[in-house]
Amino acid sequence: MNPQRLKYALTFLRIVVALLMFVHGVARIYLGVVDDFGEFLTLKEFPLGFYLAWAITIFEIVGSILLAIGFYVASIAIVFVVHLLCGIFLVHLKEGWFVVGAGRNGMEFSVLLIACLIVLAVSHFGKNR
């Protein structure tokens, strides 16, 4: 593949994935459910669930912006992979594979995001910009 095309493809992927993660964090604030997320984390025995929920939400927003502009892509992508894996194990796994259609709230979308984030992490490993 032409290196320039590959660069454009990875840039496109990086921006789209960043946008998806950004909207997730912004929606949580806009809908006023960060506190509910904190209660969920507390029920799952995470310490300081309220603060952890806000830290996760802020990271989704700030991390997404950094990801979109190309700063610390590998590091941010790895943190997002861990974040999504936690979501799979805490929420989506028990719902099965499908998000819609043959199921509801499954893990297929998270797995796709994880695959995209791994591609971004590998392609940007060792670079800060």
Are 120 and 14 in contact by the 8 Å Cβ rule? The answer is yes
- CA dist 95 and 7 (Å) reads 36
1-48 per-position pLDDT tens digit:
799 999 999 999 999 999 999 999 999 999 999 999 999 999 999 999
Split at pLDDT 50, 70, 90, the class of 128 is: confident
What is the DSSP-derived secondary structure letter of residue 128?
-
Q: Residue 14: its pLDDT value, please?
A: 98
Are 124 and 80 in contact by the 8 Å Cβ rule? The answer is no
| Number of CB atoms found within 10 A of residue 124's CB | 21
Global pTM reads: 0.94
39-51 per-position pLDDT tens digit:
999 999 999 999 9
Phi, psi of 30 (to 5 degrees): -60, -40
Residue at token pair 């990271």 = 59
